[in-house]
Copies of this chain bind each other. A is one copy, B any other.
Amino acid sequence: MKPNPRRRFLQLAPIAALAGCAAKPDEKTEDEKLPSMVGAPIRAYGERSPHDKTKRLVPDLKRPQLGSTRTPLADTEGIITPAGLHFERHHAGVPDIDPAKHSLLIHGLVDRPLVFSMAELKRLPSESRIHFIECSGNSGGEWKAPGGPDAARSCGLASCSEWTGVSLKVLLDEAGLKKEGKWLLAEGADACKMFRSLPIEKCLADCFVAYAQNGEALRPEQGFPLRLMVPGYEGNVCVKWLRQIKVVDVPYQSREETSHYTDLLPDGTARQFSFVVDAKSIITSPSGGQKMNGAGFHEIRGLAWSGRGRIDRVDVSTDGGKTWAKATLQEPRLSMAFTRFRMPWQWDGQPVEIMSRAVDESGYVQPTREELVAARGVNSQYHYNGIKSWKIESDGSVKGA
Contact = CB atoms under 8 A, between A and B. Distances in A.
A336 B169 CA distance: 32
A372 interface: no
B123 A19 contact: yes
Given A48-B217, A113-B4, A23 B65 contact: no
A65 B41 contact: yes
A43 interface: yes
Copies of this chain assembled into the complex:
2
Interface in A181-208: 189-191, 193
A362 interface: no
Given A13-B176, A24-B115, A219 B47 contact: yes
Contacts of A340: 128
A46 interface: yes
Given A34-B189, A212-B77, A219 B49 contact: yes
Interface string A1-34: 1011011110011011001011111100100101
A99 interface: yes
A125 interface: yes
Size band of the interface chain A makes with B: 35 or more
Given A7-B112, A77-B215, A215-B80, A93 B39 contact: yes
A154 to B, nearest CB: 19
A174 interface: yes
A54 to B, nearest CB: 6
A158 B5 CA distance: 45
Contacts of A222: 46
Main SS at interface, chain A: loop
A297 B125 CA distance: 9
A82 to B, nearest CB: 4
Interface string A361-377: 00000000000000000
Interface string A282-299: 000000000001000111
Contacts of A220: 40, 46, 48-49
A44 B170 CA distance: 36
B126 A301 contact: yes
A189 B280 CA distance: 41
Interface stretch (A55-63, A140-148, A262-270, A379-387): A55-63
A223 B191 CA distance: 42
Contacts of A191: 34-39
A66 interface: yes
Nearest to A210: B77
B330 A332 contact: no
Interface stretch (A83-91, A252-260, A318-326, A390-398): A83-91
The 6 closest A-B pairs by CB, nearest first: A39-B93, A78-B128, A41-B64, A77-B164, A44-B55, A77-B212
Given A21-B123, A78-B162, A332-B334, 9 more contacts: A4-B112, A7-B112, A21-B120, A23-B116, A23-B174, A39-B96, A42-B58, A43-B58, A49-B217
19 contacts: A7-B111, A8-B111, A13-B174, A16-B124, A23-B120, A25-B114, A26-B115, A34-B243, A38-B93, A42-B61, A42-B221, A44-B58, A46-B222, A49-B99, A51-B224, A77-B216, A81-B215, A82-B83, A128-B340
